[in-house]
Amino acid sequence: MRPTARANHRTGPRRLSRTGGVVLCTLCAVAAAPLAAPGPPSAGQPPDRPARVTSEVLRLAEEAGQVRQRYERAQRSAKGQRARAEELRRTLRVRGVVRSALRDDAGAAARAQYRTGGFTVGLDGEGGAAEEELDDPVELVARQVPAVRRRARLGRMLVEEERTSRRLEAEARSLAAARQDLDRDSARLGEAIRTLEARLAGARDELDEVARAAVDSGECAPPDLAGGRSGPAVERAAARSARAARGWTRPVVSYELSAGFGAGGANWADGHTGQDFAVPTGTPVRAVGAGTVVAAGCGGPFGISLVVEHENGWYSQYAHLAAPLAAPGRRVRAGQWIGLSGTTGNSTGPHLHFEIRRTPEFGSAVDPVEWLGERGVQL
């Protein structure tokens, strides 16, 4: 495709758009730090601002994610407790009917025994004399045995039923108390999520400002994250991402696909050359496979961008970044963080533009969704 003058991008559930073209520049030497070596500060902003803001976005995103996981676990627990409470209510209703029937049956047997002085055989159902009376006392006593056993069995069943009902009622009370605690925890976690997301939104806005300043100055060097307060946590999260990936992987973990390869429209002269992923500013962007960073862009239609060379002559490009986390010459692993998503270049909303190319330069792109699918990665 040939890029038009500008493109319209949107975020979230809306469709994204972008144009092509790339301006490549060399950034800094091969990184020695776990993420990347710091470069010179961007003109017009404090030297520590890029690293500070980048670390804050990553820290808040990580913290918000952990709190959200706890909230979702609490919600799943609450759902399970509601199901168990409903089951207990149904069971207790049935048990109540059974207890009532047992009491009625045991009461009828006791009343019959009282009216006959202990003998129930030989009487009709109303307690009157049966048509056939028994003259043999031995046979009369023998016929009492099943009735006595039945009364004893009814008594045992009633005792057991009442014991079970008391246990279920105690469980229901305990469940109700636990539900109250869980509801309070969920409310606190929900408030914590809202607070963190508000802070994260502010940090993302500031990161966009930092990225624009970097592009304006032409100095898009990777920030020094290792030396900051959040450095160790960032390093651990980045290492987890790399360990979780095997072979080939997605460029971002959570996303919504938007403009696809070959998409037409006013934003692209010859069709869209990559796949767009709708993600918030500051989302870690990962190398889809092992390789070497061979080029970095700091402006132009693609904004801040990176190109990674892979085996067999394939190249992947990551564009519209807010910050690079690797510089040309850096060896990277599959799943390793190499940048943070943003909205630099011809973009009006945060997203990642991802390309697979046959050469490092623009104009040799293939469908990245199909390419990843052939390597076992489904988007």
Secondary-structure percent of the chain, ordered helix, strand, coil, rounded to 5: 45, 15, 40
The confidence score (pLDDT) of residue 159 equals 83
Q: Which residues contact 279 (CB under 8 A, 6 or more apart)?
A: 252, 254, 255, 256, 341, 350, 351, 352
The first and second tokens of residue 57, run together, are 């976005």
Q: How far is CA 251 from CA 24, 246, 258, 341, in A?
A: 21, 13, 14, 10
pLDDT band (50, 70, 90) for residue 143: low
Per-residue pLDDT, averaged over 113-119, amounts to 56
Which pLDDT does position 113 carry in this prediction? Answer: 60
Instruction: Tell me the CB-side half-sphere exposure of residue 78, using CA atoms within 13 A.
Output: 15
C-alpha dihedral, 223 to 303 to 316 to 41, nearest 10°:
-20
Instruction: Pull the structure tokens for residue 44.
Output: 């017009």
Residue 11 above 70 pLDDT?
Answer: no
Largest CA distance in the chain: 120
Strand partners, 306: 296, 318
Give, as one character, the DSSP assignment of residue 313. G
Look up the pTM and report it.
0.67
- Please tell me the predicted confidence (pLDDT) of residue 98: 77
Q: What is the pLDDT of residues 181-208, one digit of tens each?
A: 999 999 999 999 999 999 999 999 999 9
Q: Is the confidence at residue 138, as pLDDT, over 60?
A: no
| 86 to 75, 79, 179, 185: CA distances (angstroms) | 17, 11, 13, 22
By three-state DSSP, how is residue 257 classified? strand
